[in-house]
Structure 1
Amino acid sequence: MLKKILFALYILVIVVMAAATFVEKFRGTEFVHASVYGSWWFVGLWAVLALLAVAYFVGRRVRRASVVLLHLSFAVILAGALLTHVTSWQGAVRLRVGETVSTYYENVSGGDVVERKLPFELRLESFDVKYHDGTRAEADYVSRFTITDGGATQRAEVSMNNVWKYRSVRFYQSSYDPDMRGSILALNSDPWGIPVTYAGYALLFLSLVWLLVDPKGAFRRLFKSDMMRRGVLSVMAVCAMSQAAGAANTLPRETADRLGRLNILYNDRVCPLQTFAVDFTKKLCGSARYGDYTPEQVLAGFIFYGDEWSAEPIIRVKNGPLRDALQLPGRCSVNTFFNQVMGGYILGPYLNEYYHGHNGKFHKQVADIDDRLMMVMELRRGTLLRVFPFTSGGKTTWYSPTENITDTLVDEAHRKYMQNVFSLIYGEVLASSYGNVDKILDKMLKYQQLNGGSSLPSAAQVKAERLYNAIPFATILFMVNLTLGVVLLIIGLVRLIRPVKTDEPDRPDKALLRAVPVVGGALLGLSLLALTACIALRWIVGGRVPMANGYETMLLMAWFVMVLALVAARRFRIALPFGFLMSGFFLLVSHINQMDPQITHIMPVLSSPLLSVHVSVIMMSFALLSLTFICGLTAIILRLVRGRNAVELDGQLDSLALLSRLLLYPALTLLGVGIFVGAIWANVSWGAYWSWDAKEVWGLITLMVYAVAAHAASVPFLRRSMGYHIFMTLAFLTLVMTYFGVNYFLGGMHSYA
């Protein structure tokens, strides 16, 4: 009876947390924190669950130290969370330069804000926003203030990921006033909850690692199973748009390439103009190339042959209500949307409706097309071409040729050069004097090198970015990996249904089937090398670990899947198609429009060494769990194809379950460690180790759901291989929700990942 009550309560806690994330989406963060996460009944629910779990654990008389330590760590973590809930306080203080403040503001139940007294006084001395050289991309926020406590004073400095602690109060940079004369600091005092919770996390880390190395633990016992010794798994060896463009004029390819070698301030980052050309072309026609034209030629066409290219059917219009309502073809020109007979700009009335609250699919398509058209208009006006740097006093500013330069430090000679050089190029283009155009572009590059200061990318970064732009890694690899994965999986299923027998020495496909694992492993290795090169190039170009957004974490997930598949394939050949399929899936997801592959400066809050540890550990865990999903899916397919009474089916299902469990334990360990590191990072950056953000909640749900699979001794359903596979297949939905559901539906402060 105790086990049934405990199991029901465990499910209830998971359901409540999952439901709360959806309530937050529609009712707001303050409501759900007051009504759910901060309520007495939610705290009580966790307390009862913990007490029942302790009673059940003691009743089972578990003596293995690693298991005892693991469950003890959860009790300590919950105790720390309770102390934080009861004893801590949080608030915010608004400071203005030169003013003394002795109060702070605290949010209380119901969303009300209460002013409270500080035990000391604060005076803001200065506030600065630091930018990346030559851009307006924020690199850090720095507040310098003085703490006065009685007769003693102390100077303090707070920035992103740099906390200041005084007595039991910690100060965090939260926000700032638009006039740069004020700063908002977050305050947190939690002297008891944090050390207890951190102790619990440390115990969790030690116990999880201990479980993996414990000779008598469940994980090590899997390696000693009869199936591993008999090599049953070896029996399951699995061998392992472009639109036709017209003849619109543009620069010759060599000259356009020279144009692409110039630098430009784009997306708050100084980069080769080629990058802007690639993004410009992709945004217009959905591909990095248009017919036989390179991206640089497309860009040059709109700059120097604007009228011709405005008549070119380059703008891709997706199927949808806009295309149906206006009877538009799949490819339109810019001129299509400017029709005097229909009143000028034909999207104008619908765009006005969009800005007045009409946000259905039709109006969203209108806004998307309008965004692309305005980009063309701005390019033709020259406002997007911020290619002229000027450095004075160590500060670099980038200007466009049509910009009204108000900076008095820019002398007349530089002004005239910026304003006239494109007119000079245009004259040479009209005369088809492309040799002269080449010379002018070469001089422009030298001008940038002389005046760009420290804002210019290094030679290595330029080479890396041009190579990265030239090869569509994700597009190629997702097609290759998915294709090879499907082929290998089909071959594997055929072999499982009709295994090679020793009394069939002349079977014609026997040699081929034996060669497939070797070839498959080699191809997966080559794919891994290509993806490694892609990630390395992004690292060089961005000057940071590429783990800061959804696109980059998908690449990282695919990388981990391929590495793990290659390692596992030495013993389990079935890992090869798993590796191809899951890495191909993650690369496909990175390729879809919802993820932006542009390389940008990292947000200040992410400028922490804990970023790479947190993200890489979590992604490795997700990669392992995705492979358990493929194991489960393969088992279900085998059962459906071969039937319940097929010979050798039970052995194959058991083998897949063994492989899945071998992946499960390190996955749980990595997920627990990732959450632990994330909690430390959150405490350093936001002042709270756990904020009940949607991503945090679903990460916890994922850990709790997959942890059930490690308790087969208490859940009879999981002792049967088919039951285990069904559970692991369904459990994967929590991982999908954690990553994609939060990012693209629920939102939250983690939605950038």
Structure 2
Amino acid sequence: KIIEIPFSIYLTDFQLERYPGSNSPSSYASEVILKDQNIEKPFRIYMNNILKYNGYRFFQSSYDRDEKGTILSVNYDSLGTSVSYFGYLIMAIGMVLIFFNKNSRIKALIKTSAKLRDERKKLFAVIILGLFFTINTNAQNPQYNKDHVSEFAKLLVQTSKGRVEPVNTLASEIMRKVAKKSNWEGMSSTEVFLEMQANPEKWKNVPFIKVGNPELRRMLNLRDNYISFNSLFNPATGEYKLNQLVQTAYEKKANTRNKFDKEVINVDERANIMMGVLTGTFLTIFPVPGDDNHKWIHIGEAKLLGSQNETFAQNTLSAYFTAVATGDWISAKSQLNRLASFQQTEGAKIIPPKTKISLEVFYNNANIFGKLSKIFMLLGLIMLGINLATIFNPEFKLGMVKKISVWLIFLLFLVQTAGMAIRWYISGHAPWSNGYESMVFISWATCLAGILFYSRSEITLSLTTLLAGLTLMVAGMSWMNPEITPLVPVLKSYWLIVHVAIITSSYGFLGVGALLGMLNLILIVSRSKTNAARVNLTIKELVNVIDIALLVGLILLTLGSFLGGVWANESWGRYWGWDPKETWALVTILVYTFISHMHKIPGFRGSFAVSAASLVGFSSVLMTYFGVNYYLSGLHSYAQGEPAPVPAGVYVAVVIVIVLIVAAYISEKTAQQIASKKI
């Protein structure tokens, strides 16, 4: 159906900007003129910047394939938008006022929690270990000059997605993808990458490509987990040994591939990356003079530089690698400076500031989140063990160690905050735009929740510290990509930044509730006649913290969903589209709304019910995050291609949770029967 509007809009120009050196759109905009009676108004429409006129709103939706025409979406609902936003505002104000109302449930829970803590008088204890936070200082290969490697690390390259970054970042990503390590036999990733460029023939025979599958290792006659590039080819015929295996693996659907098929595909990808490194195609260090898209190229494309610059590039790069290979560091420095000067001259418009380059190199070398994951987990396990020991043995006292440990956690939290701030500055956008970044942010929010709840329950801090470490560990796994990438146009919105930050923070609080619920179930099962009094007080204290954490998480999740609706409405003119992420966010809100009101329902009250519900309810969060992001398609999905099968560990975890809940239920019923007989 065609609907006429009472005015006209004329397109004067459509502008599509791409990230430098890539085909990925950075932004696209429509220069239009709105014409009505006695009105002629020019306006620029682009993503998150809409044209509003007489109740109509025009959004930049897409563009024609020939990139000459624009596609705008239109919305006419001025009153509806005002009413919806006012409703969101009223509900948000009401939720915030809950924290200040002396008669609210949260206030009552906080008072009860304080009384239980004073009554139990449980001392918090931890053991001091020699934990320290240092920058990775790998043994320097004696062949290489340390200062020169540091300078080479700052040489700039342009990625296939158009981002200009230091060689250090590229080398780190290649090392992780090919060797699955952060360093190699005492050499940093930058040293390895430099030597690969200077001496590619040597590295063709170095077992550097990771092969994790035992069956594939046997087929390739490997003694350990690594194979050289040349060993992947038949020395007599030159045939690629994985050729048939790769074809067979790709012919299968993703959800039917076994571990062997996946490893074949992974090794094939690593081999192709290795070939690109050894042939120099990853070293895109030459800006093309006068290129409208600011494209950078590698030495194999030097003709695009023009005859004079082509000669300069070939001679300088050849002389540089010769100097590196022979250890002539004076000459190497001179040639490196010439390359850097060429970049500054021809690529100045897109080159980041020197401070940002140096900070990115520091960020890569520091491996902040990787180190924090280990320290957080170690601290969390120690603190949890001591807390449990205190519950069952009140004579266990280490008060001073407790204070030191708490301050240490607070310090590490500040370090994590600084790490996220550095990543924000380096990338130019909020550090929660992809799977890796959101996991890091969830870890941060979880740690923050533990610090906030520490005054109410000391054991909560130990659990949140452990969970923060586990979350960072998951972020560091191979299927999470820590690469810093440019944003697509629709994600460049302040509404999105706030929306994602609030919703992701809610996961931290809901995760705290789940962990405390699991701990409570364990305490219920382990309760005995001798420790019943102390354990029961601990359970009651933790139930109060669970209720508070779930209420805070529910409020954040709901507010975040409201803001998501605002973002969607401001970006493309609709609040809700029943996208899988939106649908499961609503399911999660409903689940936790029910759990938070269980105390009003007969038969659903009590410590066991709240603890079990908080643990089971977290499955909706896991589905909202992992299920939607990696297994379902939609606007919010990080998955590519067909979904991979669910890991076997998920089924094991489900069985463990069911067994724990059943055991706790039996224990709780037994305790209630004994108590009723005494009465």
Say which SS state the counterpart of residue 206 (structure 2) adopts.
coil
Q: Is residue 2:415 matched to residue 1:530?
A: yes
In structure 1, runs of 5+ residues without a counterpart are 1-114, 501-508
CA contact (8 A) 2:10 2:32 kept: yes
**What is aligned with 1:403?**
301
CA contact (8 A) 2:595 2:614 kept: yes
The one-letter amino acid of 2:286's match is F
* Distance in 1 (alpha carbons) for counterparts of 2:227 and 2:387: 46
The one-letter amino acid of 1:425's match is Y
**What is aligned with 1:338?**
233
Q: Comparing 130-139 with 736-745, which one deviates more in the overlay?
A: 130-139
Cα offset for 1:484? 1.4
Say which SS state the counterpart of residue 588 (structure 2) adopts.
helix
The one of 583, 590, 594 aligned to 1:704: 590
Q: What are the residue-to-residue correspondences of 1:114-133 with 2, within 5 Å?
A: 116-119=2-5, 123-132=10-19
Q: Is residue 2:502 matched to residue 1:617?
A: yes
**What is aligned with 1:304?**
198
TM score, norm. by length of structure 2: 0.85
CA contact (8 A) 1:539 1:545 kept: yes
Q: Is residue 2:539 matched to residue 1:657?
A: no
**What is aligned with 2:150?**
257
Residue identity over aligned pairs, in percent, reads 29
The one of 709, 712, 717 aligned to 2:603: 717
Say which SS state the counterpart of residue 516 (structure 2) adopts.
helix
In structure 2, runs of 5+ residues without a counterpart are 128-137, 640-679
**What is aligned with 2:656?**
none
Cα offset for 1:340? 3.6
**What is aligned with 1:101?**
none
Say which SS state the counterpart of residue 144 (structure 1) adopts.
strand
* Distance in 2 (alpha carbons) for counterparts of 1:538 and 1:358: 36
The one of 378, 382, 388 aligned to 2:276: 378
* Distance in 2 (alpha carbons) for counterparts of 1:443 and 1:226: 66
* Distance in 1 (alpha carbons) for counterparts of 2:572 and 2:118: 51
Say which SS state the counterpart of residue 173 (structure 1) adopts.
strand
Q: Is residue 2:361 matched to residue 1:475?
A: no
Q: Is residue 2:572 matched to residue 1:572?
A: no
* Distance in 1 (alpha carbons) for counterparts of 2:113 and 2:374: 39
CA contact (8 A) 1:137 1:269 kept: no
Cα offset for 1:497? 1.1
Say which SS state the counterpart of residue 213 (structure 1) adopts.
coil
Cα offset for 1:158? 1.9
CA contact (8 A) 1:657 1:721 kept: yes
* Distance in 2 (alpha carbons) for counterparts of 1:334 and 1:585: 35
* Distance in 2 (alpha carbons) for counterparts of 1:191 and 1:671: 27
Q: Is residue 2:189 matched to residue 1:295?
A: yes
The one-letter amino acid of 2:83's match is V
Q: What are the residue-to-residue correspondences of 1:463-502 with 2, within 5 Å?
A: 463-500=358-395
* Distance in 2 (alpha carbons) for counterparts of 1:121 and 1:356: 52
Say which SS state the counterpart of residue 458 (structure 2) adopts.
coil
The one-letter amino acid of 1:677's match is L
Q: Is residue 2:33 matched to residue 1:180?
A: no
Cα offset for 1:348? 1.7
**What is aligned with 2:169?**
275
The one-letter amino acid of 2:151's match is R
Residue 467 and residue 196 in structure 1: after superposition, are their counterparts in 2 closer, same or farther (change >3 A)? same
Q: Is residue 2:344 matched to residue 1:454?
A: no
Say which SS state the counterpart of residue 185 (structure 1) adopts.
strand
Say which SS state the counterpart of residue 719 (structure 1) adopts.
coil
CA contact (8 A) 2:29 2:44 kept: yes
Say which SS state the counterpart of residue 300 (structure 2) adopts.
coil
Q: Comparing 412-421 with 688-697, which one deviates more in the overlay?
A: 412-421
Residue 445 and residue 134 in structure 1: after superposition, are their counterparts in 2 closer, same or farther (change >3 A)? same
* Distance in 2 (alpha carbons) for counterparts of 1:230 and 1:441: 64
**What is aligned with 2:566?**
680
Q: What are the residue-to-residue correspondences of 1:188-337 with 2, within 5 Å?
A: 188-191=75-78, 193-225=80-112, 228=115, 231-232=118-119, 234-235=121-122, 237=124, 239=126, 251-266=144-159, 267-319=161-213, 322-323=216-217, 325-328=219-222, 329-337=224-232
Cα offset for 1:689? 0.7
Q: How many residues align?
A: 621
The one of 567, 571, 589 aligned to 2:474: 589
Cα offset for 1:702? 1.2
* Distance in 2 (alpha carbons) for counterparts of 1:413 and 1:253: 33
**What is aligned with 1:437?**
332
Residue 485 and residue 325 in structure 1: after superposition, are their counterparts in 2 closer, same or farther (change >3 A)? same
CA contact (8 A) 2:206 2:229 kept: yes
* Superposed CA offset, 1:38-82 (max 9, x none): xxxxxxxxxxxxxxxxxxxxxxxxxxxxxxxxxxxxxxxxxxxxx
Say which SS state the counterpart of residue 157 (structure 1) adopts.
strand
Q: What are the residue-to-residue correspondences of 1:51-66 with 2, within 5 Å?
A: none
The one-letter amino acid of 2:534's match is E
CA contact (8 A) 1:147 1:155 kept: yes
CA contact (8 A) 1:400 1:418 kept: no
* Distance in 2 (alpha carbons) for counterparts of 1:203 and 1:678: 16
* Distance in 2 (alpha carbons) for counterparts of 1:135 and 1:678: 30
* Superposed CA offset, 1:245-276 (max 9, x none): 9x999754443333222111124211111111
Cα offset for 1:690? 0.8
Say which SS state the counterpart of residue 72 (structure 2) adopts.
strand
Cα offset for 1:133? 5.2
Residue 261 and residue 735 in structure 1: after superposition, are their counterparts in 2 closer, same or farther (change >3 A)? same
* Distance in 1 (alpha carbons) for counterparts of 2:491 and 2:369: 24
* Superposed CA offset, 1:322-366 (max 9, x none): 445545441111112111447611122233345555652344333
Cα offset for 1:461? 0.5
The one of 35, 41, 49 aligned to 1:162: 49
* Distance in 2 (alpha carbons) for counterparts of 1:576 and 1:321: 44
* Distance in 1 (alpha carbons) for counterparts of 2:199 and 2:291: 39
Q: CA RMSD in A?
A: 2.8
* Distance in 2 (alpha carbons) for counterparts of 1:255 and 1:292: 17
CA contact (8 A) 2:630 2:638 kept: no
* Distance in 1 (alpha carbons) for counterparts of 2:561 and 2:189: 42
The one-letter amino acid of 2:421's match is A
Residue 256 and residue 225 in structure 1: after superposition, are their counterparts in 2 closer, same or farther (change >3 A)? closer
* Distance in 1 (alpha carbons) for counterparts of 2:562 and 2:192: 49
**What is aligned with 2:660?**
none
The one of 504, 517, 524 aligned to 1:639: 524
The one-letter amino acid of 2:448's match is V
* Distance in 2 (alpha carbons) for counterparts of 1:321 and 1:194: 60
TM score, norm. by length of structure 1: 0.77
The one-letter amino acid of 1:405's match is K
**What is aligned with 1:92?**
none
The one-letter amino acid of 1:314's match is F
